[in-house]
Each structure stands twice: as C-alpha cells, then as structure tokens.
Structure 1
Amino acid sequence: KKWNPGHAFSLQSIQLRIATRGIQLLAPGGLMVYSTCSMNPVENESIVAQLLQTFEGHISLVDISDKLPGLQTIPGLTKWCIMGKNKEVYNSYEEVPPHMQSLARPNMFPPSQDILERLHLERCIRLLPHHQNTGAFFVALFRKLDKTVEVSSTQEETSQKRPAEEITFNEDGANFKRARYHRENPFIFFNEKDITGFWQEISEFFGVDPSFPADQMMTRHAADSGRNIYFVSDSLKQIVTLNQDRIKFINMGVRLLVRTDLRNDKDKRSLRLSQEGIAIVNKYFTKRRIVIEEQDLINFLSHAFTHYANVSQSVQKQLENMSQDLGSTICTFTIKQHNLEVPIIFVAWRGRSSFRPFVSHSSRKFYLSLLNIDHSTINDIIEKLTIEEKASNEPRIEGKTNNEPKIEDS
C-alpha cells in the first residue's frame, strides 16, 4: 500500500549504477541481460538509453525478438512520459516543476529523435501479463564489443566505498538513507538423513506421495529446526550446490512449511503448510484435505475463525474421517462459471474447535468477487474481518515468522 510511481525516481539511479558496473565487469564479447519486473520506462528504456550513450561504441543492444519463439512480446518503447508520486504526468523535463527537478532528472525522458534512431530501443522486449498469463517483465540484452573505460561519478564512487550497504527510500521516493545488510545463514538442502528421518514423519502426517522431490527442499538451519522450509527447482538446486562457495545467495525458493509455536517443537504438527507453496504441494499431499461447499467458502473468507458448528454437514463428515490431530488442512472448492472451472485451494489450520484460513485480504476479496458478491458487501466483510483480527490479536497474513500466532489455542 506504500507503493507509488515516484519510487521509480529513486530506483533509477540504483539500477543505473548496478547495470553500469555490470557492463564494466563484462568481458569483451560477453552478454549481459538487464531485466526488471516493472513496466515503468524510467526503470527500463531510460536505463538502456543511458547505458548505450555512456558506453557508445563499446556495447550494442542485441535484437532478441526472435530468440524465444512462441513467447508473446512487444518491442521496447521509443516514446514515453514519466509519472510523479501523485500520478501527475510529465511529457518532458521542461514540464517538471522546480521542486521536483532533483528527483525527475533529464535522463529519465526519451533522448532526441536522432539519438533514438541510433539506440534501437525497439530491440528490447516487454512481456505483458494478459498476453500469456505471466508476470510483467522488461528484458534487454547487451553485447560488449571491446574493453570499456571506467565511468567516474560521485554516485559510482559512493556506492563502491560502501559495498556492504544498500539504499532505501521513503514513501516520497526521496531522501536516501543507508542500512546495513542483514547477515543470512547459508541455505542447506535436505540430505538422505533428513528425508528418511525428520521428513518421514511429516510425510506420513500429510500423506505425501513418494514421487515428491524432497531433496529439493532446503532451510537456513538444520532441517528439523529451521523456521521455514523452502522448495526450489532441480536446476536451481544444481546452480546453488555448485556455487555455494562462490556466490552469496540472499533469497530464493518458495516457502512450503512454516514452524509454529506448538509447545512440542519436534512435533510433526509444529510445521504448518504455507499458502505460498500450496500450488506445489497440492498434487503430492493426499491427507488432511477437505472439499468445502460454497457457504463454507464464504464463511471461511468472511471470518478470522470458523467454528466447526458453523460448517456444512459434508465438511463435518470429512472431519470425522480425518485424523483428529491439530495441524494444517488443505481446503478446496471449484467455482463453475461460463463453462469454466476455477479451482480455489487454500490452507487452513485445524484447531480444537475451529478453522483458521491463511488467506490474505486481497485473495479473500478476489475469491468473494468470483462468487458474484458485490463490492460494497465485500468491503463490509473485510472491514468486519479486520476488527475480528485485531480483537484476537492475530496477524492477517502468514509469514511473520518473528510473530507466529499461537494457533494451538484455537
């Protein structure tokens, strides 16, 4: 909720320094990909244009439009405007008011037409979410032609003097401040002992299919004491394993399991499923699953807790046939609309007398809208839900690992 378009003003200088250093370190003939998950040209085409002008004659922009056949893309922009914090639009630097000129700089706007023709920004590609159900991405590929000279600037020198620091920004997209990196423990992949020991009990509890690739799970501590258990693809595992001593990996993987505050820390129930990883485990975890009805879904999404007395008879019967242990449960429901089936899958905690779904407010709104509930009613539901959560002192979204709810009491 703190995001605004003005953040790009601060990000642009950081991204430009990173990309500049990448070009300097690149060997002649080498390739460098510059990619963001933003559609803001201030973070994309303006960076590419600045690099091509700074290293003119030393680097070139590679046309990659035909490198990924079947992938729907659009060319990079050659004309754009920039947007401020309050969504005010500036078509040129001359339109930027004086109080904004320290943030919105000339190099954020398109260069002149004669320069644009030399840069060939159309060789960049943009991936739009609605074209093939993906995230939004910008990609540019540079080739280094020969050795480049060092770029000297106050920002470059400052960033090199403080290699262990990062730049953050406030809500206005200004006022840089520096903060030390948090030291992270290295990632540790599950070994054979973990899989046949610690993981075996978890696997039996959730009925995990033997084909599940448990060796692709990892933690930052020993497997039986890690706060979070993550999952990565086999190819990423190989990259990490081969480069653990050469590269510091800060963050990666999808969180599958999160440790709770159950009194017996070694108990199999002390790890709950993470909503973040439900799409991965769904086809492998065969136990502790319930198929809910539409009214159950509405109740679950409308309240922080739903008592068993308020669930459908179908769900009550499924609960009778399930292990009575406290712990995570996978809830599924299929919405059928216009000859389409939309599966909804989410994690809920089965307590002693109630369910607690781990679904964010934004997802709740989306699911309720799929049930054709009007927006005003949805807003009322979320408002009442927020009051419930505050009253029970429960965080609304999973993942606050330093403030885990004591869900054994529910």
Structure 2
Amino acid sequence: MGGKGRGGRARTQRKHFRESRENVWKRPKPDPNSANDNKDGNGNHWEPFESQSPAFNEYYKEQGIVTAEEWDTFIEVLRKPLPAAFRINSSGQFCGEIRAQLQNDFSRSLQAEVTDGDEAEAIRPLPWYPDNLAWHSNFSRMQLRKNQALESFHEFLKLENEIGNITRQEAVSMVPPLFLDVHPNHYVLDMCAAPGSKTFQLLEIIHQSSKPGDLPDGLVVANDLDVQRCNLLIHQTKRMCTANLIVTNHEAQHFPGCRANTNFFSASTAGNELKPRSTQLTFDRVLCDVPCSGDGTLRKAPDIWRKWNSGMGNGLHGLQVQIGMRGASLLKVGGRMVYSTCSMNPVENEAVVAELLRKSGGSLELVDVSNELPQLVRRPGLKKWKVCDKGVWFASYEQVTESCQSVAIPGMFPSGRGHKSDTHNSQLRGNHPDGGSSVDVSEPTMDPVHVFDEEVCEFPIERCMRIVPHDQNTGAFFVAVLRKVAPLLAATEKTSDQNTKSANDQSRGKLQQTITDADSVDLNATDGMGESSSEVEIDPNNQRDSNSANNNPPCKLPVQDNKDADGLDSTDGMDKPFSEADLEVVDNETTENKLEITAIKNNSEESKQPGDGEMDPKKCNGKRKLQIQGKWRGVDPVVLFKDETVIDCIKTFYGINESFPLIGHLVTRNSDTNHVKRIYYISNSVKDVLELNFSAGQQLKITSIGLKMFERQSSREGSSAPCAFRISSEGLPVLLPYITKQILTMSPVDFKHLLQYKSIKYADFVDAAFGEKASNLMLGCCVIVLGTGNTSSDVIKVDESTIAIGCWKGRASLSVMVTATDCQELLGRLSNRLGNDL
C-alpha cells in the first residue's frame, strides 16, 4: 500500500554523521613504491589489529564463562569476523515476497560462493527467530562489499535496507525484544534506544497484525541520552512509517514519570475534555538494553582487544543498576522488563540483576523463559563470580581493601552483602570506620581469592541467559527477563543488614571508573552496506546496535572520575530506595535541560491548553504554572495543530472519510502556526501521552513524534493549487483507505512507465481514458493506485497488497512524488508480481 516502510530521505543533519569510525577489519592499500608496505620487519603480513588480550584471557578463564575444554574454540571464533545478519520487516507490505525471494532465489544462486570450511548454506533463516523473518549470511560485510559474485545480493540488501523492508542487525541483538512478549496494545519503553534496530523491531511487533489504515492501540517510547544519536534513531525508525512512536532525549536513569496535574483536566472546556488513560506515565513493557563495556561485540569491533580491561565493566555497574531500577519503577505491576547487555562480564550482568532483585524487595522476580525460543542456544546465568580490580581478585566484599572500596562495592558480589564479621574486617582492613585498627593492610594479600570461600548468589540467577559466540556463530549477549509482581515500596527497600548500608555509604562519592560516550559516538558516513547514501550518509550498523544512547562504542574508552557523560555522579543514589513516588522525578538535573515553568503565548490559541480551556495559574497546586510548549534547548516544541480552516481544506480536497479522525491528532514542530511546513499525525495512544505530558508541565523532551502526514507545497505551481498541503509518502499508507477524491487506478503498463520516466503528459498514456481522467483532477497532489487490468477502473479496493504512490497533477503532465530509490524498488516488485504481463 504505497510500500509500508517507505518514506523520503531523512532530514538528519549531515554534520552529525561526517566522522567515520576506523574500519579495523580493512587492510590499507599497498604503496606501489614500497615493496614492503604491507609487511613488518620480518617480512610477515601486517595485521591491522590485535586479536588477543592476556588480561581478557585471565579474566574470563577465572570467571568460568566457558569450560576449559572449549576455551580454544571460544577464542578462535571470537577472532573471526562476524557474519552478516538481517531481519525482514514483518509489518511491511512486501514481507512475504522478500522472504520467498531469499528462500527460492538467493539461497540457490549464492551456494556456489560457499568455500571449504564454511557452513553448508550460503544464507539461512535463523532457526530461533519466528516465521523465518531473520536471516544469517555466511558472508562477512567485507565479503559482501568486495566479492563481485555477491554483487546482486549486496545490491538487494542495500536497496531493501534503505527502503525499510529489511534491517541490518546483529543476530543476538534481535533476541531481547522477542522475550519482552509485546502485544499490539502495549505501551513499551526502550530506555536506551539508539541506534534504533531494537526499537524498529518493537514497532514491527506492535504493527504486525494491523490492517491497512488501522493503527494499533499501543506505542513505543524510544529514549536516548545523546541528541545526535537521537537523530540516528529517528533516521532508523523513520523507515517504519509509524504514528505510534515518540522519541525522547533523557538520561535513562532519570526518565520522567510525567505525573499529571489533575486540575489541568478540570480546566478543559466541556466539549473538549482531555481524558488520558492514566494520571502518570507507566509501561506494560520496558527494554533496558543498558550501556556496557561491549566485549560481546569483539567480532564486529576487534579494536576492543587492545583496549580491554576489567575496569570497563566495574565502572558501569552502578549506572546499570540505576537504569534498571528506573525501568522497574516505570513498569506496570504484571509487566515484563528485559535487562540486556552485549557484554560477557558477570559484574555487568548477573551482579546487576541480583542487585535489582535485592533493591526491589520482592517486587521483581526472574522469569524462567527456558521454554521460549527453544532453538536459541543459550547458557544459564552464573551462580558465582568474582570481582577484579587492577589484577587483584576479590571473592567477597570482605576481601576488598579500603583503597578499592570505591570500585568494588557490595552489590557487585553474588551475596550483595557488606561486612559479615567485624573481627574479620578489622583484621583485613585495619583502620576502618566500622571498628578495628590493630592491623593496617594497605595492600591486598598475594592470593586473596582463597582467604574466604567463594560466594554463591541466593537468587535463581540461572534463569538468566548468556549467549556465547561459538554456540551458533554469533556475537555474545546477556539477557534477563523480569516481571513486576508488586509495587516498588520504599519500605521494602530497607535492608536489615546495617553493615551493607554502611559499606555502600563508604563507596558513595569515591573514585569510580566509568565510561563516557562524549567522544566515541560512531556516526559513520555509509549506509550500513558499505555504500554511500544519496541524502544521509550513515552506517547505523557500525554502531553497536546492541547498545544505546547511554553507552559508548567500545573503540574509545576514556575514563573520568566518578561522573557520567553529563557530569552527574555515577554512584549517586546507588543504594537509595526506589519507590513508585520516583515517577514524579523530572529530568532537570542539567542546567541546559531545566524547564522554564512559565506560560507562554504563541498567537491567540497558544494561551490555552490543548483542551482549549483557559489556563488558570491558581489551578496548578500553587507551585508552578503549566508550560504550554516545550522549551528544551535545541529541540523544537510540539504544538497541537488546530487550524480548522486548513484541516477542513485538506479533508475536502482529498475527500477524507469522517471515520478517520484529524482533529486532535495533528501536531507540528513550529510554534508559529501560520507558517507550518509539516503536519504530523499521532495515534490515539500517542495523543494520550502527549496530553499527559502537557498536563505534567512538558517533562518529556520530545525530539520526534508521530508520522509526517502532510507537507506544504513548495513549488511555484503548487502555490496556486486549491490545497496548500500534499500527502507525504510516509503518511500515504495510513491515509489511503480513507481517501475518496484525487485518487485514480492505473493500468500496470502505464504504472511501470510512470515509475520509469517519472513524468508523463496526459496524451501519452497508453490508456487514453486514464489520461483524460487525470487531466480532469484538480491541480495539486493526487494518489495513483496500481490496477490489475489493462485499463483504469473507477473501483478502488485497498488491502494489504495494494500499491499506491503520491503524484503531482500538473497543468500538462502527471509526475511521481517518490524518490528514485522507491521507484527502483517498486519496479522490481512489479516485475516479480506480474512477470511477462508487463
């Protein structure tokens, strides 16, 4: 239906994507003037990166990530490039056709390129992904770019990826959304969403059962810390063409709860009362794909080898716990939360999950998902692990010396406890506030691991899953599924173990390693397939798609003292109780993001709330005035579009059926409503959240919302058209079933010619009757639907197979209003569907 998933090029600023990350797999071109350019002093071929790390080997052997017998196989696979993987858009119009093309055409044609020692199949569906929608390629990205025999397959991947019919994504990165058990009516929060492949996947699931023109009852809120990575996220999800998405820009650990001011609704006029679903923003599902050290991506980012150290994981543990607890506080009782990382480190994985269970006081439980996705090979979570700081190992917190207490905190250990024995503590630590000063131990013992027995986690942590590379030729990943069984209450957070609280207090405010994403955001200038894009040149798949705005691609790991990327204390609040009251938190910790809590006027209508009720400052609990528009620095405001003259003109010109609601569902990003260039459409669920956000004083910093539906005509001829706005390519699939005017069916032959030549005079159409009908349309935007017969028909039937495009009806000719890439893809679809009939 116009190709769901199709849209114009993103408007992301080029400057955000100019700097490419070094391709560490790529060898430099040899210098023709130097015979030894690509060799070292011994005449051996030069290697562009390290493929081993003694520190890595020691750490993970000690942690027992894999058995000693399989260690060599584990390392061997880690040193091989990661095979390419991709996912078919399950809600896309051409999903079935693309799947059949892969199964019947490419599976056979690529088989000759399989070399000895490789897997038996060139491409194959991932056995654990439902409905054969995710595919594993036996070729690395470098092979796809360089092998001429793979050129047609590579071009296919590039084209379909750009259109939005497929998404390049690491196989294990597809796992977390599948365990969320998302339904079309769910409100889903993706806390650390960039670069957006998991968000796209969540949107697919929500839209999967939707019929043409219908919008699901659910939504996805995709959040990211970095505004530039938000742009990348918007670019990725733009291909989905959805009205059920909100993109926000907040620190995940301080994501706003948007508690509504109930007086806001009582101030609304009787005929336009706003009725959100609740008075605070909570979610049925929460995805916490948190910032991590990223050593599970070694096959894709081998530069991690030379930079790896145990401090990378230690420094992120506290932030990961904070994000997890914030996600739990935003989760509805009975809802499901997935915690995931692309790290193999138990300090970032099992230790964080155990700490979430402790802090929740029984409100969270680990879900046993061993029966879900049975063909996915996974390993149970570790019941015991150790903490390492600068080569010194600790089996329990009792072993931690005073100088290491700011790094190795109780929550990192399996038991999560602090001091078990004052006597032991005094003997081991010497001068310590909790007592004992007879022995001053400034250095750890030579073999501290064996001073005390190793701790074992009391929770059923084996219900977590760890995916290792050599089990199914993938990257590494960690996933834990949690269910909220009761509200988070501050009283349940308190522990009876006062020593634990004392130990945590000692760790707070001291030096802790953490990773900043300030200078390691990968904004690559390719399209994800190794080729340049005509409009926005990016490679979202060079991002660590298993990570988020809060995390850093692990190629650059600067360490800063006790601060996260925005200068906030990364240990602050680590043992602070979490409760449902935390939902009132507003993300205003940084000066530049503080709300200006004042009422502002923009034209006559902007002095009112969205419900057209006059704003009464006295009805704001006496604390602050309600904010009508967002004043977040660098982010355009979200303004309800209420110009009934323009809306009525649009409805009349296109004959939009009254069953498709426009009033109350249109927004713009321009506070000057007299000069609006683009109008966005929002679903009922997004509308509810937006109204809730208005009532809460604009706590959400929204960088993108809804679906671009209408655009103002910019051409000279367009200024004289009866309607000033045309239907956008992104919005056409949603609006198509409700259009009754300015719409015609076209024969396949003429449709093909229109795609090929882009513009055809009315007298030149093969079907003369169609040319006459087209010439009689009003000047401006029109919709052309692909017919089934040799002549045009007045009967227009819209279903899942309907192909339609937006066109411009000029004075002398009909011209397409879709991109060259869209035309190319549609021509291919016509050839597949109609074959020799064209």
TM-score normalised to the size of structure 1? 0.57
> Structure 2 vs 1, CA of residues 78 and 330 (structure 1 numbering), >3 Å: closer, same or farther?
same
User: Aligned AA for 2:734?
Assistant: I
| Number of residue pairs aligned between Structure 1 and Structure 2 | 304
1:56 aligned to which of 348, 354, 366: 354
1:185 maps to 2:483 = no
> Structure 2 vs 1, CA of residues 30 and 253 (structure 1 numbering), >3 Å: closer, same or farther?
closer
The structural deviation recorded for 1:256 is 0.6
Alignment of 1:62-77 (within 5 A): 62-63=366-367, 74=373, 77=376
The structural deviation recorded for 1:299 is 1.0
The structural deviation recorded for 1:146 is 4.5
1:240 maps to 2:690 = yes
- Alignment partner, residue 659 of structure 2: 211
The structural deviation recorded for 1:281 is 1.2
- Would you say the 8 A contact 1:262–1:270 is kept in 2? no
User: Aligned AA for 2:701?
Assistant: K
> Structure 2 vs 1, CA of residues 48 and 290 (structure 1 numbering), >3 Å: closer, same or farther?
farther
User: Aligned AA for 2:773?
Assistant: Q
- Alignment partner, residue 427 of structure 2: none
The structural deviation recorded for 1:290 is 1.0
CA distance in 2, matches of 1:139, 1:275: 39
User: Aligned AA for 1:25?
Assistant: R
1:308 maps to 2:801 = no
- Alignment partner, residue 395 of structure 1: none
* Structure 1: gaps (5+ residues): 66-72, 81-113, 125-137, 378-410
| Secondary structure of 1:290 counterpart | strand
- Would you say the 8 A contact 1:198–1:223 is kept in 2? no
Alignment of 1:381-396 (within 5 A): none
CA RMSD of aligned residues (A): 5.0
- Would you say the 8 A contact 2:729–2:818 is kept in 1? yes
- Would you say the 8 A contact 2:660–2:738 is kept in 1? yes
Of 352-361 and 5-14, more deviation after overlay is shown by 5-14
Alignment of 1:277-296 (within 5 A): 277-296=731-750
CA distance in 2, matches of 1:76, 1:219: 46
The structural deviation recorded for 1:371 is 2.9
The structural deviation recorded for 1:182 is 7.7
Q: Deviations over 1:19-50 (max 9, x none)?
A: 654224356796686679xxxx975x979994
- Would you say the 8 A contact 2:290–2:323 is kept in 1? no
- Alignment partner, residue 109 of structure 1: none
| Secondary structure of 2:763 counterpart | helix
- Would you say the 8 A contact 1:329–1:347 is kept in 2? yes
CA distance in 1, matches of 2:326, 2:761: 60
The structural deviation recorded for 1:296 is 1.3
> Structure 2 vs 1, CA of residues 123 and 343 (structure 1 numbering), >3 Å: closer, same or farther?
farther
Q: Which has the higher strand share?
A: 1
Alignment of 1:8-407 (within 5 A): 15-17=289-291, 20-25=321-326, 50-59=348-357, 62-63=366-367, 74=373, 77-79=376-378, 118-121=461-464, 140-141=481-482, 143=484, 146=493, 154-155=513-514, 158=516, 167-170=521-524, 173=543, 183-191=634-642, 194-195=643-644, 197-215=645-663, 216-221=665-670, 222-244=672-694, 245-263=698-716, 268-311=722-765, 312-323=767-778, 325=779, 327-334=780-787, 342-372=801-831
CA distance in 1, matches of 2:659, 2:748: 32
Instruction: Choose 1 or 2 for highest CA Rg.
Output: 2
- Would you say the 8 A contact 2:747–2:788 is kept in 1? no
> Structure 2 vs 1, CA of residues 30 and 353 (structure 1 numbering), >3 Å: closer, same or farther?
closer
CA distance in 2, matches of 1:48, 1:329: 58
User: Aligned AA for 1:219?
Assistant: T
User: Aligned AA for 1:184?
Assistant: V
> Structure 2 vs 1, CA of residues 141 and 261 (structure 1 numbering), >3 Å: closer, same or farther?
farther
* Structure 2: gaps (5+ residues): 1-157, 174-193, 199-223, 226-288, 292-318, 358-363, 380-455, 468-478, 495-500, 525-538, 544-552, 558-564, 567-591, 593-631, 790-798
CA distance in 2, matches of 1:47, 1:276: 42
> Structure 2 vs 1, CA of residues 27 and 301 (structure 1 numbering), >3 Å: closer, same or farther?
closer
- Would you say the 8 A contact 2:679–2:708 is kept in 1? yes
- Alignment partner, residue 104 of structure 1: none
- Would you say the 8 A contact 2:321–2:355 is kept in 1? no
CA distance in 1, matches of 2:330, 2:817: 50
The structural deviation recorded for 1:236 is 1.3
| Secondary structure of 2:738 counterpart | coil
- Would you say the 8 A contact 1:76–1:123 is kept in 2? no
- Would you say the 8 A contact 2:353–2:480 is kept in 1? no
> Structure 2 vs 1, CA of residues 347 and 300 (structure 1 numbering), >3 Å: closer, same or farther?
same
> Structure 2 vs 1, CA of residues 267 and 51 (structure 1 numbering), >3 Å: closer, same or farther?
farther
CA distance in 1, matches of 2:773, 2:462: 63
The structural deviation recorded for 1:356 is 2.4
| Secondary structure of 2:801 counterpart | strand
CA distance in 2, matches of 1:211, 1:280: 13
| Secondary structure of 1:342 counterpart | coil
Q: Deviations over 1:252-311 (max 9, x none)?
A: 211111123134869654321111111221122211111100111111222332333332
- Would you say the 8 A contact 1:289–1:329 is kept in 2? yes
User: Aligned AA for 2:356?
Assistant: H
Q: Deviations over 1:95-122 (max 9, x none)?
A: xxxxxxxxxxxxxxxxxxx99x834246
Structure with more relative contact order (C-alpha pairs < 8 Å, separation 6 or more): 2
- Would you say the 8 A contact 1:330–1:348 is kept in 2? yes
| Identity percentage of aligned residues | 17
User: Aligned AA for 1:56?
Assistant: A
Q: Deviations over 1:348-399 (max 9, x none)?
A: 122233322233455434433333359xx9xxxxxxxxxxxxxxxxxxxxxx
User: Aligned AA for 1:279?
Assistant: P
Of 221-230 and 232-241, more deviation after overlay is shown by 221-230
- Would you say the 8 A contact 2:668–2:679 is kept in 1? yes
User: Aligned AA for 2:746?
Assistant: I
CA distance in 2, matches of 1:139, 1:317: 62
Q: Deviations over 1:204-261 (max 9, x none)?
A: 2212223331121111124442221111111211111111322111112111111231
- Would you say the 8 A contact 2:762–2:775 is kept in 1? no
User: Aligned AA for 1:370?
Assistant: R
Q: Deviations over 1:317-364 (max 9, x none)?
A: 3224422x1x1111111459xxx9821111112223332223345543
> Structure 2 vs 1, CA of residues 315 and 122 (structure 1 numbering), >3 Å: closer, same or farther?
farther
The structural deviation recorded for 1:56 is 1.8
> Structure 2 vs 1, CA of residues 35 and 255 (structure 1 numbering), >3 Å: closer, same or farther?
farther
CA distance in 2, matches of 1:252, 1:141: 29
> Structure 2 vs 1, CA of residues 153 and 232 (structure 1 numbering), >3 Å: closer, same or farther?
farther
| Secondary structure of 1:58 counterpart | helix
User: Aligned AA for 2:772?
Assistant: K
CA distance in 1, matches of 2:481, 2:346: 8
| Secondary structure of 1:230 counterpart | strand
> Structure 2 vs 1, CA of residues 210 and 54 (structure 1 numbering), >3 Å: closer, same or farther?
closer
| Secondary structure of 1:258 counterpart | strand
- Would you say the 8 A contact 1:35–1:139 is kept in 2? yes
| Secondary structure of 2:739 counterpart | coil
